[in-house]
Amino acid sequence: MMSRTLPLSDGATVRLIEAGRGEPLLLIHGVGMRAEAWEPQIDALSAHHHVIAVDMPGHGASSPLPADAHLPDFVAWAARLVEALGLGPVNLAGHSMGALVAAGLAVERPDLVRRLALLNAVHRRSPEARAAVLARADEIARGEGDNEAPLIRWFGPNQVAIRNKVAHWLDGIDPQGYATAYRAFAEGDTIYADRLAEIACPTLVLTGDGDRNSSAQMSHEMADAIPLGRALIVAGHRHMVNMTAPYIVNDALTNWLRWDETNMTPFDPRALRDAFGCFMTGVTVVTTTSEGMPLGFTANSFSSVSLDPPLLLVSIARTSRNFGHFVNAGHFAINVLAESQKDVSGTFARPVEDRFATVEWSPGPAGSPVLSGVSAWFDCRLSQLVEAGDHAILIGEIKGFAASQEPGLGYYRGAYITPAQTAAQLPTGPDVMIAAIVEAWGEVLLVEDGQGGLALPEARVGREGVQAALTQLLRDSAPDAAPGEIYAVYDGAAPGRQHIAFRCPATSTDARKGRFVPLESDHLKSVSDPATRSMLDRLAAESRLGNYGVYFGSHIEGQVTHKQGAGA
């Protein structure tokens, strides 16, 4: 990253932080912040874009606007900035006050904006909220503002490091620049509200579901008003979502930077569905009860999660008519269908009036319907609900289960398969490798990779299964470590190879092979595999935040999912 000062046409100067090459991406922060607030996005997005983060007027090292400046004056400043950059229309992202400025620029000067992203934006506050924010603007103008109140709204109790950084910026800001910007912010939620339909470029409107002042409802209203607008709500996070949920925001911005006027999604949904169908799965019926009535649907998005505690997951479409029932019931069962139960799968996949009329079932230990004749069943208490795009992930704690000798029904490329009958003709399963991220006192265990570099302790999964392989791997490398949570699941560079990485806490830095090194970027440069190095860099960042996610994807790209409420 490089910092420099840019002169504008009116003689004012703007401080910039720049990194990367490619299509320009301009980032404007909120009131009281500075360009460094975008560091997680600068680091991630500069790999493929020319990223430019700026200090807003009166913030950091940028010249202030007159004390009586209003939102349109900040918009005019942004226009002079883009013109001075001389990069043509830019991809423009703004946070909070920066989002108001960015939206105003897209309205007033559409020739300067290629794509628009509005993070934690405000839109038509309620009379009570408007009165409160105007009162705070008056306090700030009198030099009586209390920085503690916004910090409480913005951060959860576990986000101490980020909170302290932001508090330092708020304490060091120029009082006049802060007062001017906050007054413009307080009065700016309605100035362009009636003109959002004039924004012609692809627009992402993103906020955290815990942000009361830049609410999810506001984001949906803005996205609905913008012809090419789309809303994204990040579960479990508040106002500083770009700092507290950087991987989610970075993934969202990466996808946004692929949008154009004719294709608002980077993928064709039908083609994506077909690609997902290339992964062979089993077939399950997920069941629960609501007001004493049994409910169920067919799903193949089922997976085990943990043995201790015993956890599994399944996903459900948020548009499903059963979504609310499954969330509110507090329990559900997974019924793994047998090869002879194709008709059961079809019944629970279609809009049938009474799906249970033709099947035998009985209540499981947690109260959910368990179907007769299945290959296996698991009755669960709903442990967590994780928002995941147009679906939600139900994580269940297993309260009872049973397995039979019936072979399970399979599904592949949109058709049922019967593995027991056609095993000889089916391709073999993936070559599964597990890696142990053994952590102790801020350090991680690395071993020689035989090629002059370092790697994580790793082992191939055999017939004994993942648990036995992980137990043996830890016994051979770090006997003080304990099996922990899944941290990443991804397809490797070699065809047919899948990798699973587990975070394994250790009580000491004693190791039978390899050595513990600090979990910092400088000490991780010797890790040879780029996918492993990227994973450890993420772990280092998440360790500072205390907010860990699970990565699903390939060795090149994928998605990090954080638990609902994590860090909030």
CA-based end-to-end distance of the chain: 30
Cα–Cα distance, 383 to 331 (Å, whole number) = 9
Instruction: Name the residue with tokens 């990779």.
Output: 449
Cα–Cα distance, 59 to 157 (Å, whole number) = 27
Cis peptide, bond prior to residue 309, ω within 30 of zero: yes
Cα–Cα distance, 427 to 386 (Å, whole number) = 33
Tokens of 562: 């954080």
The identity of residue 163, as a single letter, is R
* Exposed/middle/buried for residue 191 (C-beta within 10 Å: 0-12, 13-18, 19+): middle
The answer to whether 132 and 122 have CB atoms below 8 angstroms apart is no
Tokens of 367: 């109260």
302's CB contacts (< 8 A; 6+ apart) are 281, 282, 284, 286, 312, 313, 314, 334, 336
Backbone φ, ψ for residue 97 (5° rounding)? -55, -40
Instruction: Name the residue with tokens 């108001």.
Output: 100
State the catalytic residue, choosing from 59, 239, 331, 555. 239
Instruction: Residue 280: name the closest of 415, 480, 475 by CA.
Output: 415
Cα–Cα distance, 63 to 9 (Å, whole number) = 13
Backbone φ, ψ for residue 547 (5° rounding)? -135, 100
Residue 326's Cβ-side half-sphere holds a number of Cα atoms within 13 Å equal to 29
Cα–Cα distance, 391 to 389 (Å, whole number) = 5
Within the chain, what is the greatest distance between any pair of CA atoms? 80
Cα–Cα distance, 436 to 212 (Å, whole number) = 40
Cα–Cα distance, 538 to 52 (Å, whole number) = 23
Tokens of 261: 């006027």
Beta pairing, strands 369-371 & 431-440: unpaired
250 is an active site residue: no
Instruction: Name the residue with tokens 């950091």.
Output: 60
Instruction: Name the residue with tokens 């102790």.
Output: 440
Tokens of 221: 């209203």
165's CB contacts (< 8 A; 6+ apart) are none
Cα–Cα distance, 302 to 313 (Å, whole number) = 6
State the catalytic residue, choosing from 120, 213, 214, 219. 120
Cα–Cα distance, 78 to 56 (Å, whole number) = 9
Cα–Cα distance, 8 to 484 (Å, whole number) = 54
Tokens of 117: 């992203």
Beta pairing, strands 443-448 & 497-505: unpaired
State the catalytic residue, choosing from 46, 63, 96, 219. 96
Tell me which H or E stretch contains 440. strand 431-440
120 is an active site residue: yes
Would you please indicate which residues are annotated as catalytic (active-site) residues? 96, 120, 239
